[in-house]
Amino acid sequence: MAQHYVLDTNIVTGILKKDARVVSRLRQALAANAMIALSPVVFYEVKRGLLKKDAHKQMGFFEKLANTFQWDDLQRPDWDSAAQIWAAATRVGHSPSSDADLLIATHARRLNAVVVTDNERHFARLGVQIENWLA
């Protein structure tokens, strides 16, 4: 069975900036028929950043890239799961770094996917497998 990945915002940014490490790993994954999912949270974070910078050329590239990845909306059980994880973590003093990271991890958990990120510590306690394509 092919590997499933959910890319974090910093990895999509690496693709847009044509970082050789990220592009190489993405090509390897695609050659192995990996499923690459685009989290709605990551789509939002990347798009708002490009709009803020008025980066038309990168926006065009991002739109094409986004269309090549699997789109999968967050479902109500994802929101329930994220709320439960947040509550359990904060009760023991381990607040997730951000709601965005928690939602990305919850999405990846449902898809049984690896989170690809350069912010490994943000996802370390969220119950997901992590790969860093920038390491």
Q: What's the CATH code of the domain at 55? A: 3.40.50.1010
Question: What pLDDT was estimated at residue 108?
Answer: 96
In the predicted model, residues of the chain with pLDDT beneath 70 are none
When divided into structural domains, the chain yields a total of 1
Question: What pLDDT was estimated at residue 107?
Answer: 95
Chain segment 71-92, per-residue pLDDT in tens: 999 999 999 999 999 998 899 8
Q: Which residue has the tokens 């999509």?
A: 12
Question: What pLDDT was estimated at residue 125?
Answer: 86
Q: Which domain, by its residues, includes 87?
A: 4-131
* 11 Cβ neighbours under 8 A, 6+ residues apart: 22, 116, 117, 118, 133, 134
Predicted TM-score (pTM) of the model is 0.93
CA 116 vs. chain centroid, Å, equals: 6
Alpha helices in the chain (DSSP H): 9-16, 20-31, 40-53, 56-68, 76-91, 99-111, 120-123
